[in-house]
């Protein structure tokens, strides 16, 4: 039996009438018409007609073909059974990171709220959490009930100013640390490590020791801001070499600045009276024991301004992390960006030091923990560091008040005891990754 298309297919002819394939495509026979040659070239062999279907199924698209650039997931067909519906693959890395950032923010907010409630009720005068909430509802006009006279005074005049101040200081230091690491382009930059906190403390101590009051309640904050700005500018200029910021030079400059600031503080202590010595000791050790609502209001504008401005630089910090030259090619004015961020860091650091003294390692510890948890993107890292810094300092202040009752540990000493081992581990890890600094 002969198939219809087999009758159209002629056997290959021998002799001079068959010509080889030309350079333009399939060969043609001189004794046949072009239509016959086309049918001959297009006809499949007998084996193919017996085994293959008339139309071969098209290959299922791979992950790269099935997903458009705007889609968050990819689909993948089963190669063993093309008829099976494609199964969705895992979400893209950016989507997973965004979801993780969302849950991290929720967890940090819940932790901060819980710590604030616990801290407001914990101390020598115990206030249950339910009573704290009832008093807050009563103050807001949402029902609830006030506490007794002593309880209301302790809660609203002692505990809550301290909690709010710890929140502002921790957020300022955490955000300043994230900005410093982005500006200098290395993981070891931190306001306390490179001397900015000590420099701002010198300004505050000078205002106390010299009895300055030309800005009223703002005098200490203004002096701390100016001294912190001078310090961070000096560190920035001295740590650059050949257009780059060297890690070793940065750390050594910070050591020198801290030593010089300590000498200036000692000089002011030598010439101060007993009352001023107590205040200067407060700046050296770091504490929130003297928190009041006027101090909260004095530092609130600086802290809020810095915290609101900082997230707007997140995208440019991501581009700067690629390197100075690629950032310039992408339209970033690197020097202007660094100058603006240095001003923001000085503002945040001055706001923290003016009311709490020298509290180190918050700006170093917090951004690294968040970077390990959700990657180096600054869109989450900058606001997340502010939120996590608030959590860490509220918890640290609670520990400082309760670990050695009835005495109170200096908050700066406690954070240094926790942060120093972490800094040592980070220093060795960075050195090992860079293959040494010699």
Instruction: Please give the model's pTM, rounded to 2 decimal places.
Output: 0.73
Q: Quote the tokens at residue 101.
A: 């950032």
Instruction: State the pLDDT at residue 436.
Output: 56
Q: Kindly give the residue spans of alpha helices, DSSP state H, lying in 122-218.
A: 129-139, 149-154, 160-184, 196-209
Nearest Cα neighbor of 304 from 336, 358, 344, 343 is 344
Per-residue pLDDT of the chain (438 residues; tens, 9 = 90+): 444 444 444 444 444 444 444 444 434 333 444 444 444 443 444 444 444 444 444 444 444 444 433 444 444 444 555 555 555 555 566 677 778 888 999 999 999 999 999 999 888 888 888 989 999 888 888 888 888 888 889 999 999 999 999 999 999 999 999 998 888 877 777 887 778 888 888 998 898 888 888 887 778 878 888 888 888 888 878 877 776 666 678 778 888 888 998 899 888 888 888 888 887 887 778 888 888 898 898 889 889 999 999 999 999 998 988 888 888 888 888 878 888 888 898 889 888 888 888 888 898 889 988 988 888 889 999 999 999 999 999 999 999 998 888 888 889 888 888 888 887 887 787 777 766 554
* Sole residue written with tokens 């420099």: 199
Instruction: State the pLDDT at residue 395.
Output: 93
Instruction: State the pLDDT at residue 70.
Output: 40
Instruction: Calculate the CA dihedral of residues 296, 297, 300, 301 and round it to 10 degrees.
Output: -160
Nearest Cα neighbor of 316 from 335, 332, 329, 328 is 332
Instruction: State the pLDDT at residue 113.
Output: 94
Taking CA 37 as the corner, what is the angle to CA 33 and CA 42, rounded to the nearest 5 degrees? 150
Instruction: State the pLDDT at residue 7.
Output: 41
- For residues 59 and 79, the answer to whether their CB atoms sit within 8 Å is no
CA distance 147 to 150: 8
Taking CA 376 as the corner, what is the angle to CA 197 and CA 74, rounded to the nearest 5 degrees? 165
Q: Quote the tokens at residue 338.
A: 């660094």
Instruction: State the pLDDT at residue 390.
Output: 95
Q: Which helix (H) or strand (E) holds 100?
A: helix 93-121
CA distance 418 to 413: 9
């Amino acid at each position: 039996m002969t198939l219809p298309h087999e009758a159209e297919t002629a056997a290959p002819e021998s002799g001079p009438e068959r010509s080889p394939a030309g350079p333009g495509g399939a060969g043609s026979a001189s004794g046949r018409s072009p239509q016959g040659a086309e049918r001959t070239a297009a006809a499949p062999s007998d084996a193919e007609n017996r085994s293959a279907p008339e139309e071969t199924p098209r290959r299922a698209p791979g992950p790269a073909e099935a997903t458009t650039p705007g889609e968050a997931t990819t689909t993948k067909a089963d190669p063993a059974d093309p008829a099976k519906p494609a199964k969705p693959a895992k979400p893209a890395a950016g989507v997973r990171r965004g979801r993780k950032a969302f849950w991290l923010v929720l967890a940090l907010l819940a932790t901060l709220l819980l710590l604030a409630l616990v801290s407001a009720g914990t101390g020598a005068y115990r206030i249950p959490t339910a009573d704290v909430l009832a008093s807050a509802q009563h103050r807001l006009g949402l029902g609830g009930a006030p506490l007794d006279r002593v309880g209301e005074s302790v809660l609203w005049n002692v505990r809550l100013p301290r909690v709010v101040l710890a929140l502002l200081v921790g957020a300022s230091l955490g955000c300043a640390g994230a900005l410093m690491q982005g500006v200098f382009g290395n993981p070891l930059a931190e306001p306390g490590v490179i001397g900015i906190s000590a420099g701002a403390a010198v300004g505050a101590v000078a205002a106390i020791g010299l009895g300055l009051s030309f800005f009223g309640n703002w005098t200490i904050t203004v002096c701390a801001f100016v001294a912190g700005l001078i310090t961070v500018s000096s560190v920035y200029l001295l740590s650059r070499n050949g257009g780059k910021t060297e890690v070793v030079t940065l750390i050594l400059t910070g050591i020198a600045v801290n030593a010089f600031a300590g000498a200036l503080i000692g000089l002011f202590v030598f010439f101060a009276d007993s009352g001023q010595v107590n205040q200067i000791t407060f700046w050296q050790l770091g504490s929130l024991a003297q928190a009041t609502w006027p101090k909260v209001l004095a530092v609130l504008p600086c802290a809020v301004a810095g915290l609101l401005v900082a997230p707007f630089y997140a995208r440019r910090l991501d581009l700067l992390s690629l390197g100075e030259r690629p950032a310039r090619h992408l339209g970033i004015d690197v020097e202007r960006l660094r100058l603006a961020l240095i001003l923001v860091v000085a503002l945040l650091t001055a706001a923290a030091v003016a009311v709490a003294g020298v509290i180190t390692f918050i700006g170093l510890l917090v951004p690294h923990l968040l970077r390990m948890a959700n990657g180096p993107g600054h869109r989450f890292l900058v606001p997340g560091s502010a939120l996590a810094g608030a959590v860490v300092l509220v918890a640290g202040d609670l520990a400082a008040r309760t670990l050695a009752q009835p005495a109170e540990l200096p908050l700066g000493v406690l954070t240094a005891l926790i942060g120093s081992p972490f800094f040592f581990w980070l220093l060795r890890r960075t050195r090992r990754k860079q293959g040494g600094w010699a």
